[in-house]
Amino acid sequence: MNSVDRQQVIKDLVVKTDSKIVLLVMDGLGDLPKDGKTPLQAAYKPHMDALAKESDLGQSVPVLQGVTPGSGPGHLSLFGYDSLKYDIGRGILEALGLGIKVDKKDVVARGNFATIKDGIIVDRRAGRPSSEESKKIVEILSENIKKIDDVDITFYPGKEHRLVVKFTGDGLFDEVTDADPQREGSPMEWAKATNPDSEKMANIVNKLIKEIGEVLKDQPKMNFALLRGFSKHPLLPSFEENYKLKAAAIATYPMYKGLAKLVGMEVLEAGQTIEDEVETLKKVWNDYDFFYFHVKKTDSYGEDGNFEEKVKVIENTDKAVKEILNLKPDVLIITGDHSTPALLKAHSWHPVPVLLYSKYVRKGLSVSFDEYECAKGTLGTISALDIMPLALANALKLEKYGA
């Protein structure tokens, strides 16, 4: 069944009910063993493990087997949108998450402040500066670079090492490769047009990056910027239109707020910590049918190769699971948008653990929540696109198909 058929079938079967669904996404959750255990196995997580005994477990493939997904495709699949059909650049997600207005003449890109030496990228995240430090560098860029040729340039600070750049002008298209080698120890890769219409855009991007390098050349760490995810504003069918769900997004990082906003969820002010997110969930519990609850640091520490800190984030999230269960959701899903093994310090192609809890699961076959128990679980290995239909079914929100 292709993506259009899948979405339409589900949309036609959905009914409105009072049941509530929580989708808890631990970003980059999946991992590989260190000394015989993954972070999920090494973590002390009594509530997730107890819940596993009462749940269906499985593992999901975000895009295709063997394909390493970005966070955008991973999340779109979790929300039930085929990422092979909806190819969304990270720029628009970050921009929307920061509340930036993106019009028809705009192209936006997500940026990383980076450290470059002798033309080689030595740190793609410039030592992970604080948001306050990064904001000061954005102010320097804004003062010194306002236009490249006939295109207006606007800089916006993101979180930590991230920023957004907005290009505004005539004849701008987003079919441009990332100006980012995606790995350290490599020379810079410059933007290239993948369509003749985007030659102007690629040329502007490369001029801008060189200008940024000149302006920041005396900075000790944030002396360069990598730009990727060039994108215009796409149109997607709304989450509420597809599923008849009033959905709330509880996330702390702009990109994930942008993802939620792109599909029409209401993005709530959720503070900075998992504890803040839990308090937000409690306050709005009676106001929504669906809650997207995002935990970022599992991914960040995976990318840093920090196995021990990833374990701690999982343990902290386990405490949040207890609080979520106290609210008595009809359906609780715990999963990730992709795997980020600390061993690789990057996203990977490995299937992602999935836990599905409701009154209507085939429970009792699993003893804990981890990659290996999920691989043996009753759900099997599924497409991430199947997660929303399963959530709706377990919430009794899908009518029978056919006579």
DSSP states of 120-168: EEEETTTT---HHHHHHHHHHHHHH-SEETTEEEEEEE-STTEEEEEEE
**3 pLDDT higher than 70:** no
pLDDT mean across residues, the chain:
93
* pLDDT band, residue 359 (cuts 50/70/90): very high
Q: Write out pLDDT tens, residues 239-297.
A: 999 999 999 999 998 889 988 988 999 999 998 999 999 999 999 999 999 999 999 99
Identify whether the C-beta of residue 151 lies closer than 8 Å to the C-beta of residue 168: yes
pLDDT band at 147 (very low <50, low <70, confident <90, very high): very high
* Contact in structure between 31 and 340 (CB atoms under 8 Å): yes
pLDDT at residue number 99 = 85
What is residue 97's predicted lDDT score, i.e. its pLDDT? 81
> What percent of the chain is modeled with pLDDT above 70?
99
Question: Which pLDDT tens digit goes with each residue over 154-163?
Answer: 999 988 899 9
Residue 376 binned pLDDT confidence (cut-offs 50, 70, 90)? very high
pTM above 0.75, yes or no: yes
**Contact (Cβ atoms closer than 8 angstroms) between residue 94 and residue 158:** yes
Mean pLDDT confidence for 29-43: 97
* C-beta of residue 25 within 8 angstroms of C-beta of residue 403: no
| CATH 3.40.720.10 domain locations along the chain | 3-85+237-394
Q: For position 4, what pLDDT does the model report?
A: 56
Dihedral (Cα; 378, 383, 388, 393), 10-degree rounding: -40
pLDDT band at residue 234 using 50, 70 and 90 as cut-offs = confident
CB-count exposure of residue 396 (10 Å: 0-12, 13-18, 19+): middle
CATH class of the domain comprising 3-85+237-394? alpha beta
What DSSP line would sit under 241-274, residue for residue? Answer: HHH---EEEE-SSHHHHHHHHHTTPEEP---SSH
User: How much is the pLDDT for 1?
Assistant: 54
Q: pLDDT by residue (tens digit) across 176-198?
A: 999 999 889 999 999 999 999 99
**What phi and psi values does residue 2 have, to the nearest 5 degrees?**
-80, 170
pLDDT in tens, 53-104: 999 999 999 999 999 999 889 999 999 999 888 878 778 888 888 889 888 8
* pLDDT confidence bin for 2, thresholds 50/70/90: low
Q: How far apart are CA 319 and CA 45, in angstroms?
A: 8
- Closest alpha carbon to 353 in 62, 37, 50, 89: 62
Residue 356 has pLDDT above 60, yes or no: yes
Give mean pLDDT, residues 338-352.
96
What's the token pair of residue 300? Answer: 């960040």
9 and 402 Cβ atoms separated by less than 8 Å: no
Provide the pLDDT for residue 306: 97
Return d(Cα 193, Cα 10) in angstroms, integer. 37
> pLDDT tens across 107-136, in order?
999 999 999 998 899 999 988 899 999 999
